[in-house]
Chains A and B, each alone.
Chain A
Amino acid sequence: MRVMAQMAMVMNLDKCIGCHTCSVTCKQAWTNRTGTEYVWFNNVETRPGQGYPRTYEDQEQWKGGWELNKRGRLKLRAGGRFKKLATIFSNPKMPSIQDYYEPWTYDYSTLTDAPAQEHTPVARPQSLLTGKNMKVEWSSNWDDNLGGSAATAKHDPMLAKIADKVRMEFEETFMFYLPRICEHCLNPSCAASCPSGAIYKRSEDGIVLVDQDRCRGWRMCVSGCPYKKVYFNHKTGKAEKCTFCFPRIEVGLPTVCAETCVGRLRYIGLILYDADAVLEAASVPDDHDLYEAQRALLLDPNDSEVVRAAERDGIPHDWIEAAQRSPIHALINVFKVALPLHPEYRTMPMVWYIPPLSPVVDVVKDTGYDAEDRTNLFAAIDALRIPIEYLAELFTAGDVAVVDKVLKKLAAMRCYMRDINMGREPDASIPAAVDMSEEEMYDMYRLLAIAKYDERY
């Protein structure tokens, strides 16, 4: 066992309001400059939808992340690292700027400067790439709130996998939001793809960074990252990516995206993991086992053996305490409600998600959530608008049972707390039905609902 510390994040999608404040504050702080006009270290996607860049999850097309070769050994999907080195000058798996979007501005100054003329002055869109007038046909968030759903949502790679379950009809509409930053993976394929060795994982907190001096602009990292969270700066010719706001983290501040999240849905914390076991965990043959494998990789910070090993491996005492208090540890491994995004990419991502509940499809049926009927509550999980299969494609490589269990925990928490809210005797059978104690359920409620600043970060 070799204990390492990792700064990680959990986002509770059940609370995400899709406001994009995180995107804007991040962009203002980090990528509001020449060369990165199109770059959003943090973006928010409406799902179903294509995401940013378009269809990035279609690894048949983009070949990001890892896969197992015939011998069960882990290899980059884009080809072995030797192949990558061999094809360094010609990389067909790069999204084009059109796959992100062609950034633009407007000739705003005409509003002030226009001479006397026939019509009211207007600011036209102009490409930031060519400087020419353009018709805006795609943006960083074009399909927000199912905009253009008929034309765009059908290209959602996750939706394609469950096409038989979904009708894009008004009566059955569903959507939710997926905010994304770099996953700061335990097994980063961007780093493995880099021919220059410019991408590294900080040993003390696991933040994945691009060494701006060493980067030679090969862009293999862009292809290698299945989440498409490494970007190419057209001005400097270097790769850039989310830094987990390390200058803030280093002085005890949460990331910009987390602190400015008005949905209060982001949690940041340290976790301890066994660096020696990462490769094994990333190599389990069955995709469905990857969630549990990664969870198992994360060490119990209260286990005295783990604590001893951590101290032995040079992790400071206050960091160990931080790992013990970590909301990330609680959400992933105590309450077990947070799930990794696309574990099948085998990068061991470290930004996890609590999947969203959603209203029931048919308000008439007696499966409708009745505030007082707890038997219906569990039945209602099956009638949620968001197909559970869709969530499973995102978070468990398609394993529906895991997502079902998480949603039932959230529903049970609401049910259990309703008795307390209404001044009734709490019912211990409710947490028991989802393998939780009353104390655990109440603690989970406090962490998810009350979520004080000090407890989120």
Chain B
Amino acid sequence: MSNDVESGADRSARSGKRPGMDGSFTDALVSSRRYFTKAVVSDDLRTLTRKGGRQADDFYRDRWSHDKVVRSTHGVNCTGSCSWKVYVKDGIITWETQQTDYPSVGPDSPEYEPRGCPRGAAFSWYTYSPTRVRYPYVRGVLLEMYREAKRQHDGDPVKAWAHVVDNPQRAKAYKSARGKGGLVRASWDETVEMVSAAHVHTIAKWGPDRVAGFSPIPAMSMVSHASGARFMNLIGGSMLSFYDWYADLPVASPQVFGDQTDVPESGDWWDAGYLIMWGSNVPVTRTPDAHWMTEARYRGQKVVAVAPDYADNVKFADEWLPAHPGTDGALAMAMGHVILREFYVERETPYFTDYTKRYTDLPFLVKVDVDGDGVHRPGKFLTAEDLAAHRDEENAAFKTVLVDATTDAPVVPNGALGHRFGASGEGLWNLDLGDVDPLLSLARDGAETVELELPRFDNPDGSAGSLRRGVPVRRVEGHLVTTVLDLMLAQYGVRRPGLPGQWPTGYEDAESPGTPAWQQRFTGVPWEAAARIGREFAQNAEESRGRSMIIMGAGTNHWFHSDTIYRTFLALTTLTGCQGVNGGGWAHYVGQEKVRPITGYNQVANALDWSRPPRNMIQTAYWYLHTDQFRYDQFGADTLSARTGEGQLAGKSTADVIAQSARLGWSPSYPTFDKNPLEITEDAAAAGRSVSDHIVSGLKDGSLSFACEDPDAPENFPRILSIWRANLLGSSSKGNEYFLKHLLGTDSSVRATETPESLRPRDITWHEKAPEGKLDLLMTLDFRQTSTTIFSDVVFPAATWYEKHDLNTTDMHPFVHSFNPAIAPPWQTRTDWDTWRAIAEKFSELAGPRLGTRRDVVAVPLMHDTPDAMATPHGAVKDWKPGPGQEPQCEPVPGLTMPKLVEVERDYGAVSQKMNALGPLLDTLGATTKGVTFEVGKEIDYLRAKNGPVRGGVADGRPSLVRDVHVCEAILALSGTTNGHLAVQGFKQLEKRTGHLMHDLAAEHEGKQVTFADTQAAPVSVITSPEWSGSESGGRRYSPFTINVERLKPWHTLTGRQHFYLDHDWMTELGEGLPVFRPPLNMAALFSEPAIGDVAGPGGDAVEGLTVRYLTPHNKWSIHSEYQDNLFMLSLSRGGQNIWMSDRDAAKVGVQDNDWIEAVNRNGVVVARAIVSHRMPEGTVYMHHAQDRLIDVPLAETSGKRGGIHNSLTRLLVKPTHLIGGYAQLTWAFNYIGPTGNQRDEVTVIRRRSQDVEY
């Protein structure tokens, strides 16, 4: 017992007073209580204690009691992947608490328990809430017309559907009623029949690729995602991408790593010695993982927060760098400047140079081009093609070159893309340098130098500029070359003696791009702090050998130019040797993209067991065209070009660039042609030509066109959109008002005017009047009412996450775990799997006699991780379709200069049978992930036994997929991460190509087969597999690229290393060959929006409205739109839509806390209440993402209509370089690369509105 304080008794003895209570009268009164109670009154009469016999408190004991506890989780795109206990009493779900039984991380580390957040804890509210969708609903006006039409057509559902939708008046009647109430209950049978009829009619009349499905993020519930996806892929519909659409895809990842995204689990934060949280509000967006950060601080980790506001995570940081929104690239460049100067030039840092020589493109040679005016610029990578001794080697144009410091001669090291494919590269696709010591820089005494023109974008008006800085060069077989490191030093403004050009005078030089003082002009971060943090980051990495980490989030990833921001971040982690090291590197957490059992999932969802390839589509381009947002873009694609560019985008609009990307086979494009693909194959047969020849000649003679060249022609409309596990219209629909107007044909608040004639697309047909109501059928599966269900023609009642079986994974932890039904689906709800099976059954019944077996032709883009990546040598763009007054640059050749054209047989009567069983293609073609093909014959046999075979029909004897549990078993059995046998097999295959031992990584688990029952018992750790780049072997924490670093396995890039430099024509055109700072888009210049800070009204009134930057970060009280309508979350927040603004801005326009305000720009209007706080920076407002429009949103004064959602103020802006394909790591794969649906560069006018609101 501690004795360092005087006891109360001592003190009272000294003071002469006896401690006691009030006074003697009260004492007497209270002590009398002793006689009336069984409780014990303390001797000092102070308190009452009692023991035993407490029937009075039985209420609480009863309330705690329950009949069973069921493990499940939440299928929501939050990356949490938390395992929960769902409590059930008397058949009713009562509440949930977190499971705490994750496998241990080890004795010297915190654990993953508990995982969860307040949103997840409130989920059970939905089960019985009044917003639950309990029955199928159809819009009344549509249902009545359909019933009437059916009566007129002898009960033929397909004719009835056609009768309604093909009549303009009838179609308009129900389309214009969308979103305005009037949903009526219908039976399952009738609803399924109508929906099936719609599909049959649409396929027959318009083509299967006019049908689309949107369901995102398979990782959050793989079977539920696969349900509709499998149906879509069996009928030939398109599945829309999500990772790029959500702008969660960091395009810098394919650019730099050749990988979609691969990041450390949160447990690896613990291993870092230095942690920067950059635009990632960890406590809000990684709630279950935040503790790793708070705890790692106690281990001596330094933590830095970069955030424009005093965000929730800032309180944990040792330092806060409040960079202005969207300027992060400047800050990171300045930190890179310090690192390059202090750790590369002023002294050599052995760890860094050893790392970058082996694992990055820094030593590789780049040709220096000179134009007619004698101006030098960085050009293409020097390749084996340029060296006489190597010119004739296989894939020579895809083998890059460096100088060996020992021999001072150029060498072609192993591991380039050219080694990855072809017989000659077998055993050589590795990072083994042998005796070669790569030379990082060509600088030496007397070295030749040239002055390069380099791009800059830091002009105050947003226009492009350039500057001159020199590099050392030499000549290799006639080519003037330098190294990527030399280019980086010039780009970052790191001066070296003897080099010509404009260089900074020091860190305090604010004029020269790259310096700490220069960044301060844009970010507001003091230059000393930027320099110090950059230095510390590198010092820590040097001492700890790569344990410096950056957690980067949506705050930096959702910008138009996020790829440039991210490349400046990745430069920091790569220059300091942190990638592929536990505790180091990038930690990008935006979206729950990691399906750990990816191979099995892919087979089932894409129906690769029955037919290949699927029609997977880039969603951003899809909606940019199909919601007619392209009609409102008033600037050319070349607006973004650098001064140093060569005019590749000159005269083109964004829509032109999309069309070009489609016809060159870079990106997918569905609907593909202006004709039903089922008819194209028939036409080809009738003409006696192969389908491929028929299409190519049709494209050349103009009898056939790409649909994307005329998106407003009725034959090119998307006709059916099915949405499940998503809320497009309340959450992700950037340009929401354009969706309502053009896609749905209902009321909207679009305020923009269409593009004047002189600025319209060149290659796109312009219709004078834009169509409204393109879509014939919008159907949604959901368990709650959302904007999407409210606007849907058909709503199916879905089972919740506590009412079905499924699987769930994330990149935040290395476990697979399960959903399980705590109760059976109540009312008339069904699981997604059962709903789509029901639709497939009815569809097959209707389609069999009407559609029969048909030949479809799928236009497939050039694919990443295949030899297609070598379609475009040097990234030199050649187009077979010339612009006005131009000559074709090449012939259209499927698979080389245009999409591959693959015929697929579709037996429309057998879709249901195929849906319900694992098909035979797996037996012969295997299952391929990232270039590794797994043979799965044993697994098929296992599944046939485990799930049982189906009997009869086309799938006779095949493993059953009838039940959701069957699908879970198939996913687990067909993936290396959950089947050790496959992991070992895949690594052995990879060993042949790399020539290096790898299968030992999985050998410890070769006999382990994770079953669904295992995942029901507890979360299960995954197995190291070639499906991913990191290793969990021996129980280590997952960090990406550790296999690359430790086993010398190349990255899936041109050089096989991590890329600082990108030499594709369009990257050069945009001035983004190297990391560069590009500020947020200038909306005043592009769209004539007022400038930020303007205080003016429509009539010039000085205090009417304030123009501010409009950001939509993630919400503390919801996960996207999920939970924002949940009563618990609403009670803990402000009960409806709101916008945060700074007290300084609020004062300018007379706004008080909780006042009703309106935010207005050209795209639409939002009504919300203001939250005024000094934690917000001046000039920026936050409207937290996806508050939806269903809760307490009044009518807008501006429009007289219901106030909008956060995306009512945004619109799609497509960056041309995201459409690059067919070249090395810039080759397309689904959700791997594609234009992002970014939304951060927007501005809006905020004004106080009348406080009398109407609903």
Contact = CB atoms under 8 A, between A and B. Distances in A.
Nearest to B1189: A120
A216 to B, nearest CB: 13
A124 B179 CA distance: 17
Given A170-B1174, A200-B49, A81 B26 contact: yes
A316 interface: no
Contact of A73 (B8, B21, B314, B1136): B21
A23 interface: yes
A122 B319 contact: no
A434 interface: no
A94 interface: no
Contact of B298 (A151, A200, A413): A413
B1192 A280 contact: no
B26 A80 contact: yes
A424 to B, nearest CB: 9
B1131 A139 contact: yes
Contacts of A104: 1131, 1135
B323 to A, nearest CB: 11
A282 B616 CA distance: 71
Interface string B552-566: 000000000000000
A451 B301 CA distance: 17
Given A149-B1174, A280-B7, A17 B283 contact: yes
Given A28-B122, A141-B1132, A453 B111 contact: yes
Contacts of A243: 57, 60
Contact of B48 (A32, A85, A201, A372): A201
B796 to A, nearest CB: 14
A90 interface: no
Interface in B131-148: 131, 133, 137, 140-141
A449 interface: yes
B2 A296 contact: yes
B254 interface: no
Interface in B883-916: none
Nearest to B297: A414
Interface in A2-38: 14-15, 17-21, 23-25, 27-30, 32
B959 to A, nearest CB: 39
B291 A264 contact: yes
Contacts of A323: none
B124 interface: yes
Contacts of A125: 1135-1136, 1192
B67 interface: no
B526 A24 contact: no
A145 interface: yes
Contacts of B23: 73, 75, 80, 82
Nearest to B1: A300
Contact of A148 (B46, B133, B539, B1171): B1171
A212 B55 CA distance: 9
Interface residues of B, number: 157
Contacts of B575: none
Interface in A119-163: 119-125, 136-137, 139-142, 144-152
Interface string B780-819: 0000010100100000000000000000000000000000
A72 B15 contact: yes
B114 A121 contact: no
B97 A120 contact: no
B56 A211 contact: yes
Interface string A63-102: 0000001011111100011100100000000000000010
A212 B111 CA distance: 40
Contacts of B790: 111, 120-121
B527 to A, nearest CB: 9
Contacts of A123: 131, 1125, 1190-1192
A452 B526 contact: no
A173 B297 CA distance: 21
Interface string A162-186: 0000001110011110000000000
Contacts of B1146: 150
B22 A82 contact: yes
B100 interface: yes
Interface stretch (B36-44, B255-263, B758-766, B963-971): B36-44
B141 A116 contact: yes
A144 to B, nearest CB: 7
B585 interface: no
B1195 interface: yes
A146 B318 CA distance: 20
B1201 interface: yes
Contacts of B1135: 104, 125, 136, 139
B51 A359 contact: no
Nearest to B293: A17
Contact of B29 (A71, A82, A122, A278): A82
Contact of B22 (A80, A103, A204, A247): A80
A213 B56 CA distance: 5
Nearest to A79: B22
Contact of B529 (A124, A363, A417): A363
B1154 interface: yes
Interface string B1207-1233: 000000000000000000000000000
B177 interface: yes
B9 A260 contact: no
B110 interface: yes
For chain A, the bracket of interface size reads 35 or more
B1193 A152 contact: no
B299 A421 contact: yes
A21 B117 contact: yes
Residue of B95, B305, B318 with highest tally of chain A CB at under 10 A: B318
Contact of A359 (B181, B290, B320): B320
Contacts of A317: none
A368 B1173 contact: no
A326 interface: no
A42 to B, nearest CB: 11
B1197 interface: no
Given A74-B21, A81-B30, A279-B20, A17 B310 contact: no
A358 interface: yes
Nearest to A144: B1133
B1132 A139 contact: yes
B8 A283 contact: yes
Contact of A106 (B294, B1154, B1192): B1192
Given A80-B22, A80-B23, A414-B300, A111 B131 contact: yes
Contact of B182 (A116, A276, A281, A420): A116
A333 B114 contact: no
Contact of B60 (A109, A152, A246, A416): A246
User: Which of A122, A263, A295 counts the most chain B CB atoms within 10 A?
Assistant: A122
Nearest to A201: B49
Contact of A371 (B9, B274, B1127): B274
A6 B49 CA distance: 12
Contacts of A174: 310, 315
A276 B46 CA distance: 10
A292 B3 CA distance: 10
B528 interface: yes
B827 interface: no
A361 B1000 CA distance: 51
A119 B273 CA distance: 55
Given A82-B25, A278-B46, A418 B312 contact: no
Contacts of B1195: 119
Given A300-B2, A414-B298, 5 more contacts: A122-B1255, A136-B1134, A260-B114, A276-B43, A369-B302
27 contacts: A17-B290, A28-B95, A28-B121, A72-B15, A74-B20, A80-B23, A81-B26, A82-B23, A111-B131, A116-B140, A116-B182, A120-B181, A122-B1189, A122-B1191, A122-B1192, A124-B1192, A125-B1192, A150-B1153, A170-B1176, A201-B50, A276-B43, A283-B8, A284-B8, A289-B6, A296-B2, A371-B274, A423-B544
Q: Rank and list the top 6 A-B pairs by shortest CB-CB distance, nearest first.
A: A418-B300, A280-B8, A116-B182, A114-B181, A17-B283, A148-B1153
